[in-house]
Structure 1
Amino acid sequence: MLVSIGPVQGFIADARRSRDLWFGSWLLSELAKAAARQLVAQNGIAQLVFPAPETVDDLEASSKLNVANKIVARIQGDPTGIGRAVERAVRQRLTEIRNDAFKRISGEFDLQTATAQVDDLVEFLWVAHPLDGGNDDKRVRDRLEALMAARKATRDFRPGAGQSNQPKSSLDGLRESVIPEHAYPLRRELEAVRKHKAATLYNRYKAGPAERLSGVDLLKRHGYRGDESHFPSTSHIAALPLITRLEQQEADISGAWAQYLATLKTLEAFEVEEVPARFANDLTGRHDGSLLFPDRLAGNLEGDDLHVAQQALATFLETTTGGLHPQPYYAILVADGDGMGKLIDAQPTLAQHRELSRALDGFARRVPNIIEREHRGALVYAGGDDVLAFLPPHTALLCARALADTFKKALSNFHYDDGQDAKHPPTLSVGLAVSHHIEPLSDALALARSAEKWAKQLPRKNALAVTVSKRSGAERRVCGVWGTLDARLAYFITLHRADAIPDGAAYEWRGVARSLHHPKPPAGGDDTVYKTAQEALRREVRRVLRRKRAEHGTAPLANRTLDDLDRMILDPTVDIDHLADELILARLFADAEDIAGLPLKEATPV
Structure 2
Amino acid sequence: MKNNGFYWKRKLGAFFHDPVFKAFDVKTHEALAGKFLKVLGDEGVEIQKSGDAPASAMDRLLLPYETSTNKQNRIIVDAADLSEFLHPLSGTPLEVKKTVYDRYRNDARFLSEELVKWVESIVDKYPDDPCKLFHHLWWELPCKVPMIDFLPADTRAPYHSIIDHLDMTAALEGCKIGAQVKPALLQVAIGPIQKFIAAARKTRDLWMGSYILSYLTFQGIRLIGETFGFDHIIFPNMRHQTLLKEWLRKKEINVDDDTQDLPRDIASLPNRFLAVVPSDQAEALAQQVKNAIEKVWREIAEKTAGKLKLSDTERQYWTMQTDLFPEFYYAIQNWENPANFQVVFKKFFSDTDELDGFASELRKLSQLESYPVNSGSFYPFFYELTRRKLEAVKATTAFGGYVDDRPVDGDQLSGEVKAILEDYRRRDGAASPGDKSERLGAINLIKREIIEIQKDIPNKRTPSTTEIAIRNLEEEKRTRWLNLLREENQERENDTTFEKLPTPYYAILVMDGDKMGEWMSGKRAPELKDRLHEKAKNALTALDNNRKISLSKLKKAAITPSYHRAISRTLDHFSRFVKPVVEDKYNGLLIYAGGDDVLAFLPARTVFNCANDLRKIYSGIGKVELTVDVDGKNKEEYLFDQELCYKKENEKWFPMFPMMGSKATMSAGIALLNHKFPLSDALDIARDAEKCAKRGWIDLPPAISENEKADSRNAFSITVVRHSGQQTKVVSKWERNQTDLLAKAQEIWTLLKQTKVSKKILYTFLEDIDSGEFTTEEWVERYLPYLIERRGNLTKRAKDVVVEKFQEVLSGLVTKNDEIRTRKTFEDFFLLLSMGEFAQREVENR
TM interval, short-chain normalised: 0.7 to 0.9
Deviation digits for residues 216-266 of structure 1 (CA, Å, limit 9, x no counterpart): 121122221666254211111111123734478xxxx7xx9879967x5xx
Counterpart of 2:301, as a letter, is R
Deviation digits for residues 178-210 of structure 1 (CA, Å, limit 9, x no counterpart): 124xx49xxxxxxxxxxxxx9999978999657
- Name the residue aligned to 1:492: 748
- Name the residue aligned to 2:269: 67
Structure 2: distance between partners of 1:204 and 1:564: 52
- Name the residue aligned to 1:378: 589
Shift in CA distance, 199/69, structure 1 to aligned 2, threshold 3 Å: closer
Is 2:192 aligned against 1:7? yes
Structure 2: distance between partners of 1:437 and 1:247: 15
Structure 1: distance between partners of 2:677 and 2:670: 16
Shift in CA distance, 539/57, structure 1 to aligned 2, threshold 3 Å: closer
Structure 2: distance between partners of 1:199 and 1:66: 27
Structure 1: distance between partners of 2:332 and 2:229: 17
- Name the residue aligned to 1:86: 289
1:502–1:548 CA contact under 8 A, matched in 2:
no
Structure 2: distance between partners of 1:348 and 1:242: 49
2:506–2:673 CA contact under 8 A, matched in 1:
yes
- For 1:388, what is the secondary structure of its paired residue? strand
| TM-score of the superposed pair, with normalisation by structure 2 | 0.54
Of 564, 567, 571, the residue aligned with 1:356 is: 567
Structure 1: distance between partners of 2:829 and 2:763: 11
1:380–1:388 CA contact under 8 A, matched in 2:
yes
Shift in CA distance, 536/261, structure 1 to aligned 2, threshold 3 Å: closer
Shift in CA distance, 414/204, structure 1 to aligned 2, threshold 3 Å: closer
Q: Which moved more, 1:205-214 or 1:439-448?
A: 205-214
Q: Which runs of 5+ in 1 are unaligned?
A: 185-197, 265-270, 273-295, 300-305, 315-323, 417-422, 518-531, 597-606
- Name the residue aligned to 2:166: none
Counterpart of 2:741, as a letter, is L
Structure 2: distance between partners of 1:208 and 1:57: 33
1:414–1:426 CA contact under 8 A, matched in 2:
no
Q: Which moved more, 1:556-565 or 1:205-214?
A: 205-214
Of 609, 614, 617, the residue aligned with 1:403 is: 614
Shift in CA distance, 258/156, structure 1 to aligned 2, threshold 3 Å: closer
How far is the alpha carbon of 1:589 from its aligned partner? 3.7
Deviation digits for residues 350-383 of structure 1 (CA, Å, limit 9, x no counterpart): 1331233122112212222222222221111011
How far is the alpha carbon of 1:211 from its aligned partner? 3.8
Counterpart of 1:148, as a letter, is L
1:363–1:407 CA contact under 8 A, matched in 2:
yes
Structure 2: distance between partners of 1:142 and 1:211: 46
- Name the residue aligned to 1:96: 299
- For 1:126, what is the secondary structure of its paired residue? strand
How far is the alpha carbon of 1:441 from its aligned partner? 1.4
- Residues 502-513 of structure 1: matches in 2 within 5 Å? 502-513=758-769
Is 2:811 aligned against 1:561? no
How far is the alpha carbon of 1:541 from its aligned partner? 5.6
How far is the alpha carbon of 1:594 from its aligned partner? 4.5
2:466–2:493 CA contact under 8 A, matched in 1:
no
Counterpart of 1:35, as a letter, is G
- Residues 137-536 of structure 1: matches in 2 within 5 Å? 137-156=379-398, 158-163=400-405, 165-180=407-422, 183=423, 209=436, 211-224=438-451, 228=459, 230-242=461-473, 244-246=475-477, 264=488, 271=489, 297=492, 299=494, 310=497, 325-344=501-520, 345=522, 346=525, 348-409=559-620, 412=644, 424-457=662-695, 459=710, 461-472=713-724, 473-482=726-735, 484-516=740-772
- For 1:498, what is the secondary structure of its paired residue? helix
Shift in CA distance, 162/244, structure 1 to aligned 2, threshold 3 Å: farther
- For 1:426, what is the secondary structure of its paired residue? coil
Structure 1: distance between partners of 2:448 and 2:718: 30
- Name the residue aligned to 1:318: none
Structure 1: distance between partners of 2:716 and 2:746: 13
Q: Could you tell me the percent identity over the aligned residues?
A: 27
How far is the alpha carbon of 1:439 from its aligned partner? 0.7
- Name the residue aligned to 1:586: 836
Shift in CA distance, 450/538, structure 1 to aligned 2, threshold 3 Å: farther
Shift in CA distance, 100/492, structure 1 to aligned 2, threshold 3 Å: farther
Structure 1: distance between partners of 2:612 and 2:484: 40
2:243–2:264 CA contact under 8 A, matched in 1:
yes
- Name the residue aligned to 1:280: none
Deviation digits for residues 452-477 of structure 1 (CA, Å, limit 9, x no counterpart): 33333453743333322222444232
Structure 2: distance between partners of 1:589 and 1:167: 39
- For 1:110, what is the secondary structure of its paired residue? helix
- Name the residue aligned to 1:124: 328
- Name the residue aligned to 1:520: none
1:242–1:325 CA contact under 8 A, matched in 2:
no
- For 1:217, what is the secondary structure of its paired residue? helix
Deviation digits for residues 288-308 of structure 1 (CA, Å, limit 9, x no counterpart): xxxxxxxx6164xxxxxx68x
Shift in CA distance, 398/55, structure 1 to aligned 2, threshold 3 Å: closer
What is the number of equivalent residue pairs in this alignment?
505
2:781–2:807 CA contact under 8 A, matched in 1:
no
Shift in CA distance, 161/593, structure 1 to aligned 2, threshold 3 Å: same
Tell which structure's C-alpha radius of gyration is larger. Answer: 2
Counterpart of 1:566, as a letter, is Q
How far is the alpha carbon of 1:88 from its aligned partner? 0.6
Structure 1: distance between partners of 2:833 and 2:482: 37
How far is the alpha carbon of 1:339 from its aligned partner? 3.8
- Name the residue aligned to 1:115: 319
Shift in CA distance, 374/512, structure 1 to aligned 2, threshold 3 Å: closer
Q: Which runs of 5+ in 2 are unaligned?
A: 1-185, 248-262, 338-374, 526-557, 621-639, 645-656, 697-709, 816-821
How far is the alpha carbon of 1:591 from its aligned partner? 3.3
Deviation digits for residues 67-100 of structure 1 (CA, Å, limit 9, x no counterpart): 1011100011332211110001111121233234
RMSD value over aligned CA atoms?
A: 3.8
Structure 2: distance between partners of 1:210 and 1:534: 58
Structure 2: distance between partners of 1:178 and 1:451: 34
Deviation digits for residues 493-540 of structure 1 (CA, Å, limit 9, x no counterpart): 1134225432322223322345549xxxxxxxxxxxxxx765676689
Deviation digits for residues 89-125 of structure 1 (CA, Å, limit 9, x no counterpart): 1111212332344444478792321232122121001
